[in-house]
Structure 1
Amino acid sequence: MSNKRWIADSYGKINLGLHVLEKLPTGYHRIETGFAFIEWSDRFEVRISDEYELTITGSDIPTDGTNLISRAYNAFNTYVGLKRNYHFTVSKQIPAGAGLGGGSSNAALTFRMLNKMEDAGLSDDEIVDLCRDLGADIPFFVYGKTGIGSGIGQDIDFADIQPDAWIVTVFPGFESSTAEAYRHCAPNPDPGFSLKGVLLEEPLEEWQYLLQNDLEQAVIPQHEMVGNIKDQLLDFGADYAAMSGSGSTVFGIFDQDFVAINAYESFHELGLASKLTRPKFQPDYGIYVKE
């Protein structure tokens, strides 16, 4: 058996604004949102194995066929075919049910790693076509480029919207149900402004008045701590604060580094899982081979 190992990181995201525009007959919702990266990631290490295995450390999420890594692996095997089997070992850092896209990011990286390890030669567009059914934000993680998500979040209009500022991301310690968030959210087909226009043309200090996450109206009444963290981030000096996706994570964007660091350290001292992301952060999308 080969000692070769493939190593890569699976990064999380935040939503810079999220408009829920319409409920579709399919049960999904038509949305508009800005996808940006954060420095919160899971580490993948993959080896050739006699059979498929999935080992996860740092989390108690299931490793059976319901896991998005396993579902992505099986989908790749069904539609592309595998010449070998692999053992995936994943060190989880991104919390589940947090609105950070951890599961979708893991699925996207599984496809990307299998494509490389199997020399399948699939383009990003072809990978996206294979994995659309697994999660609405998976295409964003496949392409690895910031942009505006539309439709149900799968259509990406690439744009440089990664904030040129510090991001403090705070997980309150509990999950938030995506289904429940959308169920209790009232769609607004006319938000009154262009989300892309705000992100590309308006200064950061104006975002708090122009950008909103429509799902907050459904989540915060059920989880007051989400609203409390948002208020605390603003009190600490964030220029903009919001819930990410359907929650439960909240983030603040800070123009000044010492203000951001103070906020990050304060939440850390409170025992809340938090991360600090540098201005203009770009994730390392490399897949590295070690013998």
Structure 2
Amino acid sequence: MKWIAESYAKINLGLHVLERLPTGYHRIETGFAFINWSDRFEVEKASRWQLDIDTDDETITTGEDNLINRAIDQLKRYVDIKNAYHIKVDKRIPAGAGLGGGSSNAALTLRMLNKIEELGLSDEELIDLSRDLGADVPLFIKGQTGIGSGVGHEIKPLDIQPNFWIITCFPNVKSSTPEAYSHCHPNPEPDFDLEKTLTEADPEEWQYTLFNDLEQSVVPRHHVVGNMKDQFYEFGALYASMSGSGSAVYGLFEQDFVATNAYHGLVELEFPTNITKPGFKPDHGIYRKE
């Protein structure tokens, strides 16, 4: 018997870096939305723990540092897991892209083992034990869009999923999260209120009011990110931005044929690219396959 589920990616709708904390982390504010770019999980009972990842990215390993293994170890410290499992992952979300692929994988690992082992842990308990795994993990455990604050793990649920076509593109370069934050300049008083912009402002104004503060540190080191953002506007995007700490860039499009044209144009340039329909909602289900 197998259990299958999809581990979805996210994009950041604006990202304000407000303060550098003594811990080395940063106090931020950001909007979270989902895209239809996912890794596929298959889990079945086995005689020993085994993790297989189908990927062309040689930097993604199945060692102790992999967030899936770290999630399993965290769960084992919290509860008794009776069985061992073989976890197979078809890895499609690019790493080093700012799309939260690793955090999404960790969250789904916790959710799947909680269901399969019938542990009965609530989302809040899963979030509590996952705090050392990554700031984005609570987002993927809940599976709800919202505004992230603190170091990103405090999420206020809010329906901010864009009702536009979303084209997301990975420019084939990886961006280091620690480097992105270390070179940015925190601003405790942003010019525009993030929540008000996302809920009240016309999206046509977003390119003037909605900013990712990490672009200032990533674009000078990876010019392709800035070039790709410009390319999105040339393709007719209503709004374009880098996601998270990069390097992926996304654009919002009103018309399907304009979005489709942008998608095919980027694919022809041999960039991994995703297209997501307006109002997308990720499938949060975990399904049993006989």
What whole-Å deviation, never above 9, does each CA across 1:72-104 have from its counterpart, x for those lacking one? 011111111201000000000000011000000
Residues 15 and 244, structure 2, Cα contact 8 Å, conserved in 1: yes
What corresponds to 1:145 in structure 2? 144
Q: Distance in 2 between matches of 1:225 and 1:117?
A: 43
Query: Counterpart amino acid of 1:5?
Result: K
Matched, 1:69 2:68: yes
Which consecutive residues of structure 2, in runs of 5 or more, have no partner in the other structure? none
Q: TM-score, normalised by structure 1?
A: 0.98
Residue of structure 2 aligned with 1:54, choices 37, 44, 51? 51
What is the alpha-carbon distance in structure 1 between the residues aligned to residue 222 and residue 80 of structure 2? 44
| SS at structure 2 position matched to 1:37 | strand
Name 2:23's counterpart in structure 1: 26
**What secondary structure sits across from 2:131 in the alignment?**
helix
Structure 1 residues 200-256: Cα deviation after superposition (integer angstroms, max 9, x where no partner): 111110111100000000000000000000000011110100000000000000111
Instruction: Name the SS of the counterpart of 2:37 in structure 1.
Output: strand
Q: Which residue of 2 aligns with 1:257?
A: 256
- Aligned letter for 2:245? S
Q: Which aligned segments of 4 or more residues in structure 1 are displaced greater than 6 angstroms?
A: none
Question: AA paired with 2:116?
Answer: M
Match for 1:32: what amino acid?
E
Structure 1 unaligned segments of length 5 or more: list them. Answer: none
Query: Which amino acid counterpart does residue 100 of structure 1 have in structure 2?
Result: L
> Percent identity of the aligned residues?
62
Could you tell me how far apart the structure 2 residues matched to 1:74 and 1:26 are? Answer: 24
Superposed CA offset, 1:257-285 (max 9, x none): 11111001100011000000100000001
Q: Which residue of 1 aligns with 2:13?
A: 16
Matches within 5 A, 1:1-291: 4-58=1-55, 59-60=57-58, 61-291=60-290
Q: Which moved more, 1:60-69 or 1:98-107?
A: 60-69
User: What amino acid does structure 2 have at the position aligned with 1:112?
Assistant: R
Distance in 2 between the 1:77 and 1:164 partners? 40
Amino acid at match of 1:94: I
TM-align CA RMSD: 0.6
Partner SS for 2:262: helix
In the alignment, is the contact (CA less than 8 A) between 2:225 and 2:242 conserved in 1?
yes
Number of residue pairs aligned between Structure 1 and Structure 2: 288
Deviation per CA, 1:187-208: give whole Å up to 9, x if none: 0000022101111111110111
Whole-angstrom CA distance in 1 between matches of 2:162 and 2:254: 9
Q: What is the rounded CA distance, in whole Å, between the counterparts of 2:273 and 2:110 in structure 1?
A: 28
TM-score (norm 2): 0.98
Distance, in Å, in 2 between the alignment partners of 1:184 and 1:126 is: 34
SS of the equivalent of 2:72 reads helix
CA distance in 2, matches of 1:267, 1:193: 31
For 2:80 and 2:9, the matched residues in 1 are separated by 28
